[in-house]
């Protein structure tokens, strides 16, 4: 019921509808490209774990993080229908690839009166030309800014307008984040695979891989009945995923022959604990946690070994 209707996502870029609050004046999100998975050997620092202070193997996901750039500042005002963007402050010189996504800036749309502004966000774009995914057109997305007032948010946004932002400027080792991504598309699937229905008896009528009832004969047949349809390629959020390491030494993670369906890492990278939704080369949005768990350790565990075995 939570994800109805299960349609395909309209864009490969995740849309963040609500940004968390933070007292720190900095960006609340960052984007990276999914490289693949491997495993590491680390010292378990979880307080309630049965393997506490022992060296264990753990699956990790590696994300490549080329620097992002800030294209413009968005000024929001509260209206009867919610927040509405009433003006922008655009940067004059953008990369030439951005013109394939954004129209050229002809004039500034800065409001004369900024007293009613309650929120300030930035419009950022990626630099896929720096990675090995065979793409040059950047993705455009909106990022929130932390702070207690709109004035300090605006001052910080003006200081980073047109500049490059690295992953270390937003997140740090051991920090817990939420990951928002478009999952791997699986096309049209039947009710059994799509909803996990149990197979019916061999004496059942018409089909075994289907629901027992589609609803009443007379009256509305509601959408709650499990039917076949689109599975995957939908936006999903995974909460409280820990960042184990942010590093720039690519020799520590690049295997011989490169990663399958990706290639070699050339920029800064993030090692995330566990798995993350999405296919290889998929854009992953990292957001400050909306519902942090206080019991999680705040410090990153010590990594003693990163597997770089060739998978070619």
More confident residue, 2 or 209: 209
The percentage of the chain sitting over the pLDDT mark of 90, rounded to a whole number, equals: 74
Q: What is the pTM of this model?
A: 0.92
Is the Cβ–Cβ distance between 283 and 31 less than 8 Å?
yes
The predicted structure's pLDDT at residue 1 = 54
The predicted structure's pLDDT at residue 115 = 77
Architecture of domain 29-185+234-306 in this structure: Beta Barrel (2.40)
Q: Pick from 21, 263, 26: which is nearest to 167 by CA?
A: 26
Q: Pick from 116, 129, 19, 8: which is nearest to 64 by CA?
A: 129
The predicted structure's pLDDT at residue 6 = 86
Q: Could you tell me the CA-to-CA distances from 173 to 207, 243, 307 in Å, in that order?
A: 52, 6, 19
3-class DSSP assignment, residue 72: strand
What contacts 4, CB < 8 A, 6 or more positions away?
223
What are the pLDDT digits (tens) for 55-89?
Answer: 999 999 999 999 999 999 999 999 998 899 988 89
The predicted structure's pLDDT at residue 216 = 87
Q: Pick from 31, 33, 34, 40: which is nearest to 60 by CA?
A: 40
Using 50, 70 and 90 to split pLDDT, how confident is the model at 109? low
Q: How many residues does the chain have?
A: 312
How do the domains of the chain map onto residue ranges? 29-185+234-306
Residue 52 has pLDDT above 70, yes or no: yes
The region that residue 156 occupies, defined by phi over 0 for left and psi between -120 and 50 for alpha, beta otherwise, is alpha
């Amino acid at each position: 019921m939570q994800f109805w209707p299960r349609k395909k996502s309209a864009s490969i870029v995740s849309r963040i509808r609500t940004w968390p609050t933070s007292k720190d004046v900095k960006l609340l999100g960052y984007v990276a490209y999914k490289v693949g998975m491997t495993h590491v050997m680390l010292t378990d620092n979880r307080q309630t774990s049965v393997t506490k202070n022992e060296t264990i193997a753990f699956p990790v996901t590696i994300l490549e993080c080329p620097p992002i750039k800030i294209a413009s500042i968005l000024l929001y005002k509260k209206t009867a229908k919610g927040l509405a963007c009433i003006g922008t402050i655009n940067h004059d010189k953008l990369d030439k690839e951005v013109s394939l996504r954004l129209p050229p800036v002809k004039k500034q749309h800065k409001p004369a009166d900024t007293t009613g502004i309650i929120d300030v966000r930035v419009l950022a774009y990626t630099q896929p030309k720096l990675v090995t995914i065979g793409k040059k057109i950047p993705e455009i997305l909106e990022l929130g800014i932390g702070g207690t007032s709109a004035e300090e948010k605006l001052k910080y946004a003006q200081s980073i307008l047109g500049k490059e932002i690295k992953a270390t400027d937003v997140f740090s080792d051991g920090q817990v984040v939420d990951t928002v991504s478009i999952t791997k598309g699986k096309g049209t699937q039947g009710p059994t695979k799509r909803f996990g229905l149990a197979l019916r008896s061999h004496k059942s009528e018409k089909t075994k891989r289907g629901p027992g009832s589609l609803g009443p004969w007379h009256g509305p047949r509601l959408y709650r009945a499990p039917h076949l349809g689109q599975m995957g390629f939908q936006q999903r959020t995974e909460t409280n995923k820990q960042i184990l390491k942010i590093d720039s030494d690519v020799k520590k993670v690049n295997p011989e022959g490169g990663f399958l369906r990706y290639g070699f890492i050339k920029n800064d990278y993030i090692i995330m604990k566990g798995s993350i939704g999405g296919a290889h080369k998929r854009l992953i949005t990292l957001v400050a946690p909306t519902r942090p768990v206080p019991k999680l350790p705040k410090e990153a565990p010590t990594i003693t070994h990163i597997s770089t075995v060739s998978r070619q």
